[in-house]
Structure 1
Amino acid sequence: MQEIKNLLNQVNIITKKNAEILDATGGRFNMFKVCGVNHYENTHSGILAEFLNPGGTHGLRSKLLECFIETLGEYFTIQNFNFERSRVRTEHSTEEGRIDILLEDNQNKAIIIENKIYALDQPEQLKRYNRYAQTYKNGYQIFYLTLFGTDASWQSCEGVPYLSISYRENIIKWLEKCVAISSRHPIVRETIIQYINHLKQLTGQDMDAKNKEEITEVLSKIENLRAARVISQNYSATFNYLVEMHFNPKMDEFAKQKGLEYHYEKSEETYVRFHLSNPSWQGKCWIGFTFEANRCHYGLCNNPDIYRIPDETRKTIHENLKNLGVHSRKESNWWPFYSPYANLSLETWEAEIIKSDIFLNDCKEKIEHILAAMAGITI
């Protein structure tokens, strides 16, 4: 146990030193974070599209787009894409759905980017984009962009040639090269640097190289390696402990006030998984907060192998939610209604669960919306 305490103290010292460096240099200041540019895919798509746009306000013409393709290297398969004569669109509407980022050149070639921060795949999403892409007779490529390079779900991508790319690796690497390209455009350069810092925070890479080396050196001692292994084995269980301390009693009390039964499942660093049942729903459906395909989402759930809420009832629930200001209309066989929300982080645990009830109150609000939408509906 003493070895574990010693290791934690040593790592904590390095972590605090890293934080002090950030504070001293203004490294924590980031307008993207201040403005809440975290899990809103449309906002990230707009930022990336502006960088990729040869006609963008950055004034660098096609240089940033060319750098993006060069960074992908051999993974980019379109031959002789005309960078200078290309245009960029976001939220491009087609009969097959909306494409997050679409780049077209003047030779009937296209780059399609599906941008997923925390949202879930829509049914057959990449299949639909692939059907639309057949109109580009001279070549196209579909990219599936996520924070950590997660693959698309099978129901979305079956039979579709696509490439998974990540903010953590591909986008940050590309933008770091763009810093040098924009050296004579200081406003553009500093904006790119801030966005890189923001992405590093979102992907847990906001410690400088020197401090990382110090931690590696500390861990390289055999007694510290043994202690680190014990810490790793107990890391996940810690979040269950924190939930039992700071979340479960309050959520259980709230559930009872609403005539619901609270069922806690498990927690990890990125999520708290639980569901609530209503006795009047006779076990046919429940309100769920879950984590699938590396993303959090919540909603109304049913097991279609046992009972599926009828289509007319589903439509009424969606209309009721829309009237309450909840505009997501996503659904599946299992989820008559669901909507994504931001994954948790250590910062969220500290600020919104341990030190306050922000996360609890957000969950309560989501539950209230679903209960209001279900009012008067017989299941």
Structure 2
Amino acid sequence: MTTETNLSRTSLIRLFTGVRNIVANQKQIEKLKGERFNIFRILNMERDETAAHTPFLANLLNPAGSHDMGAVFLRHFVETVRTDKMDHLAGFDWNSARVIPNYYIGPVVTTDGQESGGYLDIYIKDGRERSITLENKIDPHTEQKKQVVRYHNFNSARNTVLYLTPEGSEPSSYSRGSLEPGTHFFLVSYKEHITEWLSRCLREAADKPILRETIKQYIVLIKRITMTTDDQLQQQLTETLMAHFEEAAWVVNNFNKAKFELLANLRREVVARLTPVLGKGYKVSEGVPVTQKYAQVWIEFDGLQHYPLCFGIESFNGEGNFGGRLYVGMFNQDGKENSFTKEQGGRAKWWYQERYITLDGADVFFSDNALLVKLVDPATRQLLINRIIEETKAFVDEYEPVLKKHLGLLAQVVEG
């Protein structure tokens, strides 16, 4: 073993020891402050964009909200996010503003040059018809076709589109088309902008204990989602990383490899365990690699793999449908209409009757680093695998007659 290797190993140990101590201090502070009790997490709404994050933000922004603080929160928000390029926000009249969550702007049209329609997560309009569209993506991977383009085109002469994600990430070209951030729409983040705005709101609500403490709990939730800590510990962490910068960079570059190996091993065991549980009538196999979006487990009827209907579990990658949740469902492989989709009603789609898989009462997101930390523990990993097996077996037993009936009908069509 060379001296260089010894030094590298020693530096890595020092880096990990320093970070471990900071994490331990953070947990101790959370315990002393009572921050482990969080109403959003208890009610399994930690990553629920529709039922938790958007309504909460909309109510705080609304001058007529139940906080009874008038337009002060909205004013702080505009002042926090505004840049010199946001021309439409100059002189925005927050006192006359109306805040409407889930605002419908017409049927979706994605034809080039005619993009329009959809539901705006939060729409804010003042008395002078200037508006703010806040597109909330607590899970940035749930994009819709030309979504940012459609929202940009609505009231375009006076509208400012804000694209909100935990880290301030950009939408893909699938959503934004050829539009550019900083020009046609603007990136805002929970980590920076929302945390700063809520800190301002907190000061305004100093003499309103219930409102104040609820905002505090939401700030704690955001810090958990974005994996940030208080300023003092953040500075300690920065100093530790700077002192071992090369080693920290090496860890960052190899983190995803370790993460995907953990998920690949978990999925492999799910396949191995499901095969005997479901029996000889099924063929259980892995889908695309866990490094890719939608990484699945496929459960097909043995001998009928060339027909479009089967069962599936996704996403073992943490990115995919339904915000990247892990779920089991019935899969229509080509997304086209057939006897099964007609019976289910509505337009043909890929997934049906999807059922989310939970651990300790919370939906499973493999994009959640806090969950991955737990899954390093073999006992917790086995607990989740057991849940996946149990939920999948129950789902397959329930819907097996449905798929078999339609597979038989499809076979008759092919043979006919």
**TM-score for the superposition, normalised by structure 2:** 0.72
The structure number with the bigger radius of gyration is 2
Contact 2:267 2:297 in 1 (8 A): no
Match of 2:262 among 235, 239, 242: 242
Aligned to 1:91: 102
Structure with bigger RCO (C-alpha 8 Å, 6+ apart):
1
Q: Using a 3 Å threshold, how does the CA distance of structure 1 residues 361 and 53 change in structure 2: closer, same or farther? A: farther
Partner Cα distance (1:200, 1:180) in 2 = 18
Deviation per CA, 1:136-186, whole angstroms, max 9, x where unpaired? x6x112222222222223233225532222211211111112112222323
Cα deviation, residue 30, structure 1 = 1.7
Cα deviation, residue 5, structure 1 = 2.7
Cα deviation, residue 47, structure 1 = 0.3
Match of 2:235 among 176, 189, 213: 213
Contact 2:135 2:162 in 1 (8 A): yes
Q: Using a 3 Å threshold, how does the CA distance of structure 1 residues 203 and 316 change in structure 2: closer, same or farther? A: farther
Q: Using a 3 Å threshold, how does the CA distance of structure 1 residues 272 and 251 change in structure 2: closer, same or farther? A: farther
Are 2:66 and 1:57 aligned?
yes
Aligned to 1:15: 23
Partner secondary structure for residue 99 of structure 1? strand
- Alignment of structure 1 residues 10-159 onto 2, 5 Å: 10-42=18-50, 43-74=52-83, 75-78=85-88, 79-95=90-106, 96-118=117-139, 120-133=142-155, 139-158=158-177
Aligned to 2:271: 251
Partner Cα distance (1:60, 1:231) in 2 = 46
Q: Using a 3 Å threshold, how does the CA distance of structure 1 residues 132 and 317 change in structure 2: closer, same or farther? A: farther
Q: Using a 3 Å threshold, how does the CA distance of structure 1 residues 121 and 267 change in structure 2: closer, same or farther? A: closer
- Alignment of structure 1 residues 152-301 onto 2, 5 Å: 152-158=171-177, 161-205=184-228, 207-221=229-243, 224-243=244-263, 245-255=265-275, 257=278, 258-263=282-287, 265-266=289-290, 273-276=295-298, 278=300, 280-282=304-306, 287=312, 289=315, 290=317, 296=324, 300=331
Deviation per CA, 1:17-60, whole angstroms, max 9, x where unpaired? 22112212213222122222222112211000111011112121
Partner secondary structure for residue 164 of structure 1? strand
Which letter maps to 1:234? N
Cα deviation, residue 71, structure 1 = 0.7
Aligned to 2:6: none
Partner Cα distance (2:45, 2:289) in 1 = 30
Partner Cα distance (1:58, 1:246) in 2 = 45
Which letter maps to 1:66? R
What fraction of aligned residue pairs are identical, expressed as a percent?
A: 21
Deviation per CA, 1:103-157, whole angstroms, max 9, x where unpaired? 12222222111212226122232333344435xx6x1122222222222232332
Which letter maps to 2:43? C
Cα deviation, residue 362, structure 1 = 6.1
Partner Cα distance (1:10, 1:113) in 2 = 39
Cα deviation, residue 226, structure 1 = 4.2
Partner Cα distance (2:208, 2:242) in 1 = 43
Q: Using a 3 Å threshold, how does the CA distance of structure 1 residues 50 and 282 change in structure 2: closer, same or farther? A: same
Aligned to 1:310: 336
Contact 2:366 2:372 in 1 (8 A): no
Partner secondary structure for residue 266 of structure 1? coil
Q: Using a 3 Å threshold, how does the CA distance of structure 1 residues 103 and 325 change in structure 2: closer, same or farther? A: same
The number of aligned residues is 355
Give ranges in structure 1 of 5+ residues lacking alignment. 303-307, 329-339
Partner Cα distance (2:255, 2:355) in 1 = 37
Q: In terms of mean alpha carbon deviation, does 255-264 or 291-300 score higher?
A: 291-300
Partner secondary structure for residue 28 of structure 1? coil
Q: In terms of mean alpha carbon deviation, does 149-158 or 109-118 score higher?
A: 149-158
Which letter maps to 1:203? T
Partner Cα distance (2:291, 2:385) in 1 = 14
Cα deviation, residue 100, structure 1 = 1.2
Deviation per CA, 1:50-106, whole angstroms, max 9, x where unpaired? 110111121211011011111122253324322111111112233222221111222
Which letter maps to 1:232? V
Which letter maps to 2:147? Q
Misfit runs of 4+, over 6 Å: 283-286, 320-324
Partner secondary structure for residue 90 of structure 1? strand
Which letter maps to 1:280? L
Q: In terms of mean alpha carbon deviation, does 364-373 or 227-236 score higher?
A: 364-373
Partner Cα distance (1:146, 1:280) in 2 = 42
